[in-house]
Amino acid sequence: MTFRAFRVEKTDSGFQYGIVDREESELPDGEVLIDVRYSSLNYKDALSATGNPGVTRRFPHTPGIDAAGVVLESTSAEFPVGREVLVMGYDLGMNTSGGYGQRIRVPADWVVAMPAGLTPETSMHLGTAGFTAALAVEKLLALGTRPESGPIVVTGASGGVGCVAVKLLARLGFEVTAVTGKAAQHDWLRGLGASAFLTREQALEGADKPLLKETWGGAVDTVGGQPLGNIVKSLKHSASVAVCGLAAGADFPITVLPFILRHVNVLGVDSVELPIDQKRALWNRLGGEWRMDLGDVVEKLTLRDLEAAVPRILQGGMVGRGVVDLYA
């Protein structure tokens, strides 16, 4: 049977992409065949679509690190035909055909049954970006971060991870300061729950100093680089920052002083290889006590829209979450 897919080809003139018809027989082995109804657009998907070797090495390829839909075929008793499911992380959309195709075939231990409270569409309002934001918040809470700890700063606040982090933290009662280079998005971020703002330039002030004033009761950092270094230098005693991105760079310019004088913590956040039982538990939380209406952060896309959306997200031109309807 054929299905539509967004396909990336490696040519002599570079990487090209567009919509093609594929055969189910071309998909890799796996216990579960899924009819993908929705996916989402993440920065990592755009890197895959443009041939970044750190993400994808084998072409032609169908990107899409997120997928949500309905089981069509299964040899797993846990995922019978007709069950709504989602898949994110592991090798999906990297070197395994991903969610920008109307069919994926994957191992059963990559699959999460759709939580009560979520649908294929609303689960992709979150996708990898939203899940990562929730994972960062969960780690902060586990280390004792509370609203009374002080204001929380979120870098890259207008991006996919940042905007969900802002909304979730505000919902949990935190005072949230948003760092963004997009002043035009202040009202939008205020609507999500941000109460204060910093420009990128303000977030870089004091880069030459080993310590800064104790300001933050915690942080979610989506950009890395010098902004992360400044956050660590300005955390309150015993506070933590959850780290999940590197848009500003992979370097971490810091001394040991904040660690040995202020007892601060840097928490790594990886949603890709997180054990499946932990993924399922957090997804259930997102469908339950942490369920949010994310319609105010979503831009609706089709497979056809991806050709223009891929360069846009790479150039920093997207705000919020891009959700892809595979059948629109």
Beta strands in the chain (DSSP E): 2-11, 14-23, 32-41, 66-74, 84-88, 103-106, 111-113, 152-154, 176-179, 194-198, 218-221, 240-243, 265-268, 298-302, 321-325
Assess if CATH 3.90.180.10 describes domain 2-114+294-325. Answer: yes
183 and 157 Cβ atoms separated by less than 8 Å: no
Q: Report d(CA 33, CA 114) in Å as an integer.
A: 15
Determine the pLDDT at residue 76.
97
Architecture of domain 129-268: 3-Layer(aba) Sandwich (3.40)
DSSP string, 120-147: HHHHHHHHHHHHHHHHHHHHHHHTT--G
Determine the pLDDT at residue 165.
98
| Structural tokens at position 51 | 């041939």
Determine the pLDDT at residue 249.
87
Q: Global pTM?
A: 0.96
- Please write the tens of the pLDDT for every residue from 112-140: 999 999 999 999 999 999 999 999 999 99
Determine the pLDDT at residue 13.
87
Ranges of residues in the chain with a pLDDT under 50 are none
| Structural tokens at position 73 | 């075929």
User: What is the distance of C-alpha 19 from the center of its chain?
Assistant: 24
Domains of the chain, residue spans: 2-114+294-325, 129-268
Q: Estimate the crossing angle of helix 120-142 against helix 160-171, to 10 degrees.
A: 70
